[in-house]
Chain A
Amino acid sequence: MAAAIEQLNETRVAFNQPSSSRRYKWSVGRVVAWLGLALMTVLFVVPFLWMVSTSLKDARLAGDGKWIPDTFVWSNYTEAFSFNDYWGQWWINTIIITVINVIGGVLSTSLVAYAFARLRWPGRDIVFSLVLATMMLPGIVTLIPQYILFAKLPAFGFQGSDNWVNTFLPLTVPAFTGSAFYIFLMRQFMSGIPMELSEAAKIDGASELRIWSQIVMPLTKPALAAVAIFTFQAAWEDFMGPLLYLQSEPLYTLQLGLRQFEFAAGGSVNWAWLMAGSLVVMAPVLIIFIIFQRFFIEGVTLTGMGGR
């Protein structure tokens, strides 16, 4: 497995080199391939367009099969959020949890990776093999005992709870311990920085903390960006965590809020509202993707995180 990971990393370096632009050669096979790609691209975009189309329809005509609604019902976008008074709160909750996760994730990952990549200490290789082992650990094994742990840890009345369940703590505190995948990624990245830089700084009397924050952190910006972006997405879209740990409605995140569509409106789902609401909830991730596309694409190949 370790060999597989090493080899993956070697191939990734080649991926990120800009491909030279040159004139394209054409043949029948290549035209067919290009058409196939174009067709598949359309198939990938269609669900998204259908979502936009439905979100603008009159709720009663949501299933009429038309692509362009007869009348554009823009009010879906406001009405979708009117059925529950907590929507505003859910936005705030989601933003708080996400921001804490991103900050905690980036700092802890970078700090821990520094220990593995740039420092020599007894036990380092054993601890690092533990990091690799947890990468492969199915999350289900820790689900139940973690819940029990959080149900027993005292919260001293934080967010009105005497244990960690029904507070933001289980969804935020673990972020500060770093995630194995990202630690692995950052370590690979940091190992590539010449040790001479650190040694020169040390001669000038800089502490390791200073070298980490002033020299290594700035040099690992692309990897830090990848970690930040993926942590953002994972925290924003997390469903199981909030489902387990947030039980009272005012503490919900947007993902739990979306589920309320099904329980609202007395049984039958209002697809127009649901699609409008879903689009708005997706929007922040979509906007981040459009702005930071390059980091997303590079991040996937760097981390080897494909189908989560």
Chain B
Amino acid sequence: MAQVLSRATVAPPKSFWSPARREALTGWLFAMPWIIGFVVFTAGPMLFSVYTSFTNYNIVDAPKWIGTDNYTNLFQDDRFYLSLGNTFWIVLVKVPLVTLASIGIALLLNMDLPGAKFYRTVFYLPQVLAGVAAIFLWKWILAPDGLFNNFLGFFGIPESARPGWFFDPNWTKPGLVIMGMWWIGGNILIYLAGLKGISTTLYEAAEIDGASGSKKVWYITLPMLSPTIFFQVVTGIIGAFQIFATAFIITGKDSNVGGPDGSLLFYVLYLYNRAFGRTGQATLQMGYAAAMAWVLFIIILVITGIQLWLAKRWVYYETDK
């Protein structure tokens, strides 16, 4: 009886392609472009890169296994430490300044002042003007006879006391940071979005309790903004560690040595020189460059990990239950 019944329900013969199976296949097919891209352009190359980092490889000849030599050589390489130091300098100076400035401007923009929308657009404008053209513009502004030094002259600073910027090893990195402050429009917008998302009832409650403006910023705005700050700082640091195009264009013909006294030899620039540099150093050292990339990856991973751990102490999640 049961057999008959079940047979009756199964008939007409069920196709292999049940709706769920069909959807599963469609899902995989739709996601396939990314999956293929991930395997071919990301995961595969990454695995190969681990192997490359233990070899001597110039692309033309077959890779030669040399064990951990690339890594041990790296840790005895003066220019590796120089480039790491320069890169840390930029990360430690630029990221906090960018964070403070963009939160500050976002707070002002959030005060609902007349023209705020126009200001918002202007602050974002430089972000549109990235690329080589904008870097050249700043190379020109910070030239010895450029706009910035003219401006200093306006305040009575004599020519001899004005910085040499990209020609003076002491001023190259500060110059780069000043330049970087022009591209904070995106950060400002994201902080502004975070600020707009803070419920007004919190502020109203604080006002009833008689809280002052600065207290509201400290006890409501910043904690509520902390997830945004955290996200921006994490991605900002990852980006700052990989600074390349700016330093490459600014140093121009001296990019192979990293500008005056190697003061702009950043990690990725040095890596590029080792792999592709046209002059001076031995080039096409793919094994060495791959090892460098993995060391930077580990550094970034550790720093991101530390930040995630620290986040428990200062990042406030409304959704935490």
Contacts and interface: CB of A to CB of B under 8 A. Distances in A.
Interface string A116-136: 100111111001001100101
B265 interface: no
Nearest to A212: B30
Interface in A1-21: 1, 3-8, 10-15, 19
Interface stretch (B1-9, B163-171, B241-249): B241-249
Nearest to B230: A4
A108 B34 contact: yes
Interface stretch (A154-162, A176-184, A220-228): A176-184
Interface stretch (A71-79, A85-93, A233-241): A233-241
A304 interface: yes
A7 B227 contact: yes
A140 interface: yes
Contacts of B238: 136, 138
Given A15-B196, A115-B27, A140-B296, A8 B231 contact: yes
B187 A306 contact: yes
Contacts of B120: 297
A219 interface: no
Interface residues of B, number: 117
Contacts of B318: 7
Interface residues of A, number: 107
B68 interface: no
Contacts, number: 325
A307 B40 CA distance: 28
Contacts of B202: none
A44 B125 contact: yes
Contacts of B131: 236-239, 255, 281-282, 285
Given A177-B38, A178-B37, 15 more contacts: A1-B308, A14-B193, A24-B113, A30-B113, A37-B119, A51-B140, A111-B33, A119-B23, A119-B27, A127-B34, A233-B130, A243-B248, A263-B253, A306-B102, A307-B184
Interface of B: 20, 23-31, 33-38, 40-42, 44-46, 48-49, 52, 57, 59, 98, 102, 105, 108-109, 111-116, 119-134, 136-138, 140-141, 143, 145-147, 150, 153, 182-184, 186-190, 192-194, 196-198, 213, 227-228, 230-232, 234-236, 238-239, 241-242, 244-245, 248-249, 252-253, 268, 271, 275-276, 286, 289-290, 293-294, 296-297, 300, 304, 308, 315, 317-320
10 contacts: A3-B320, A24-B112, A115-B26, A140-B242, A146-B41, A176-B37, A281-B131, A289-B125, A306-B236, A308-B130
